[in-house]
Amino acid sequence: MANVLLIGSGAREHVVAESLKKNKDTKLYSFMKANNPGIAKLSDKVEIGSYSDLEKIKSFAKENNVDFAFIGPEDPLNEGVVDALQEIGIESIGPKKTLAKLETSKSFTRELLQKYNIDGNPKFKVFNKDNVNEIENFLNESNDIVIKPDGLTGGKGVKVQGDHFNTKEEAIAYCKEVLGTHPSVIVEEKFDGEEFSLQCLTDGKTVIATPPVQDHKRAYDGDSGPNTGGMGSYSYENHLLPFLKKEHVDKALEITKKVADAIYEETGEYYKGVMYGGFILTKDGVKLIEYNARFGDPEAINVLPLLKTDFVGICQAIIVQELDRIKIEFEKKATVCKYTVPKGYPSNPVKNEKVEIGNVPENVKLYYASVDEKEDGLYMTGSRAIAFVGIADNIEKAEKIAEQAVSSIKGKVFHRKDIGTKELIVKKVNHIENL
């Protein structure tokens, strides 16, 4: 019997809730910033509140005799919820605030890889108010660059040369703008290649990879339009990707294992939770774009439904640092996840618009994100609304299942039709071959 506190209210937390509740002896207590109807249905009790209200979270955990907590999004990690729960004797799946710097401070991670000689970094430099005048020199000696504010930006602060700006002057102006709101800014050389997500579970000593996934950040078909939180994602039945060989997944896992060791060396603390590496396969091999200190959304929706091993048992093993004793297995199935989002998303989404779910095939899984359940139905609140995942023996079948379900939605919505299709996947394979 385990009493579990789940923090978060998105589709990622909906799939986490489902995975935890597969264990019939689990009681689920969910703390959400908005009432996700899918999570609410799976929960024994819910509390709505702000992730910065650590006292309210602690009281909710104490009242319900919670055994451990699972922290879904990055914001509560950054608020120090793991440290707060530890004060009352509750351990979490999720790192303490200082270790969540893996995600919340891009400079911490780049400098950690550099200090411990771990592969995967681009050429980079961290700038602050004291060395801002050196940016121009760095730009003169670099190819195309990426500018990253040093802190959480909800995925909206990273600017890429060629996409968001072109000239050196524009780059310098943006770095100065960032320094108005952040202590530092990282400027790094841009990688060319295909991105993939490798989400790993760790107790700080043992690191286990889940199947690699490819997310699609751009809003529109053909990987065009503005960046989003992720419009959909796919994974393959062989637990590789069509452009990614086993040696590449092994390399990404090796980097993550070295980073977990380096975190312990550097801080004297074990990182417990998810280390989600955003990697890219380039002509020079596997490189690291960034780490996140949590599961990806939508990538969690690809991997967790495939998990054959008891997820509560995995979480308990992470807490007592016995992950090495567990064999974690995933079904050998392909998955395609597609999000339905409000028209105008991400920059100017319609809000409080009703969505109706049509004839969803039985073999599709549905996860709620930014929706509000009212007496007369479901309303979108402005961000990604509902995720659908098709799971099948191969990607063609998985794509058809997801597409049929997502296109059955009625309302002011759109989705990407091309995610998981042969046409787009061939484009990605060709991209790698042509590098």
Give whichever of 157 and 411 is closer to ligand GLY, judged by the CB atom: 157
Total chain residues near ligand GLY (CB under 6 A): 6
How many residues can be counted in the chain?
Answer: 435
Give whichever of 104 and 292 is closer to ligand GLY, judged by the CB atom: 292
Give whichever of 75 and 310 is closer to ligand GLY, judged by the CB atom: 75
CB 270 within 8 A of CB 207: no
CB 32 within 8 A of CB 46: yes
Site of tokens 């986490």: 16
Smallest distance from ligand GLY to CB 419, Å: 13
Q: Candidates 93-101, 203-211, 289-297, 418-426 — which segment interacts with ligand GLY by CB under 6 A?
A: 289-297
Smallest distance from ligand GLY to CB 72, Å: 11
Residue 194 found at the interface with ligand GLY (CB under 6 A):
no
Binding residue (CB under 6 A) for ligand GLY from 8, 73, 76, 296: 296
Interatomic CA distance for residues 252 and 197, integer angstroms: 9
Using CB under 6 A as the binding rule, the residues of this chain from 333 to 392 that contact ligand GLY are: none
Nearest to 145 by CA among 110, 178, 190, 192: 190
Binding residue (CB under 6 A) for ligand GLY from 79, 91, 194, 299: 299
Smallest distance from ligand GLY to CB 297, Å: 4
Smallest distance from ligand GLY to CB 142, Å: 26
Using CB under 6 A as the binding rule, the residues of this chain from 223 to 242 that contact ligand GLY are: 230
Cis peptide before 346 (omega within 30 of 0): yes
Give whichever of 204 and 230 is closer to ligand GLY, judged by the CB atom: 230
CB atoms near residue 95 (< 10 Å): 29
Q: Candidates 296-304, 312-320, 344-352, 381-389 — which segment interacts with ligand GLY by CB under 6 A?
A: 296-304
Q: Candidates 91-99, 166-174, 294-302, 404-412 — which segment interacts with ligand GLY by CB under 6 A?
A: 294-302
Q: Quick check: helix, strand or coil at residue 70?
A: strand
Is beta strand 159-160 parallel, antiparallel or unpaired with respect to 194-202? unpaired
Smallest distance from ligand GLY to CB 74, Å: 8
Smallest distance from ligand GLY to CB 424, Å: 17
Smallest distance from ligand GLY to CB 380, Å: 19
Binding residue (CB under 6 A) for ligand GLY from 297, 310, 399, 403: 297
Interatomic CA distance for residues 278 and 258, integer angstroms: 15
Give whichever of 299 and 399 is closer to ligand GLY, judged by the CB atom: 299
Nearest to 322 by CA among 380, 270, 375, 383: 270
Interatomic CA distance for residues 324 and 321, integer angstroms: 8
Residue 292 found at the interface with ligand GLY (CB under 6 A):
yes
Q: Candidates 38-46, 263-271, 290-298, 302-310 — which segment interacts with ligand GLY by CB under 6 A?
A: 290-298
Q: Candidates 113-121, 163-171, 204-212, 292-300 — which segment interacts with ligand GLY by CB under 6 A?
A: 292-300
Smallest distance from ligand GLY to CB 292, Å: 5
Give whichever of 72 and 120 is closer to ligand GLY, judged by the CB atom: 72
Q: Which two tokens stand for residue 218?
A: 């751009």
Beta-carbon-side half-sphere exposure of residue 335 (alpha carbons within 13 Å): 31
Nearest to 389 by CA among 331, 333, 332, 339: 339
Interatomic CA distance for residues 179 and 159, integer angstroms: 14
Residue 13 found at the interface with ligand GLY (CB under 6 A):
no
Smallest distance from ligand GLY to CB 256, Å: 16
CB atoms near residue 283 (< 10 Å): 10
Give pairs for 100-103: CB < 8 Å, separation 24+.
100/74, 100/293, 102/259, 102/263, 102/271, 102/275, 102/291, 102/292, 102/293, 103/74, 103/77, 103/152, 103/290, 103/291, 103/292, 103/293, 103/294
Residue 215 found at the interface with ligand GLY (CB under 6 A):
yes
Smallest distance from ligand GLY to CB 276, Å: 7
Give whichever of 293 and 364 is closer to ligand GLY, judged by the CB atom: 293
CA angle 322, 256, 186 (to 5 degrees): 135
Give whichever of 125 and 384 is closer to ligand GLY, judged by the CB atom: 384
Interatomic CA distance for residues 182 and 26, integer angstroms: 41
Q: Which residues lie near ligand GLY (CB under 6 A)?
A: 215, 230, 292, 296-297, 299
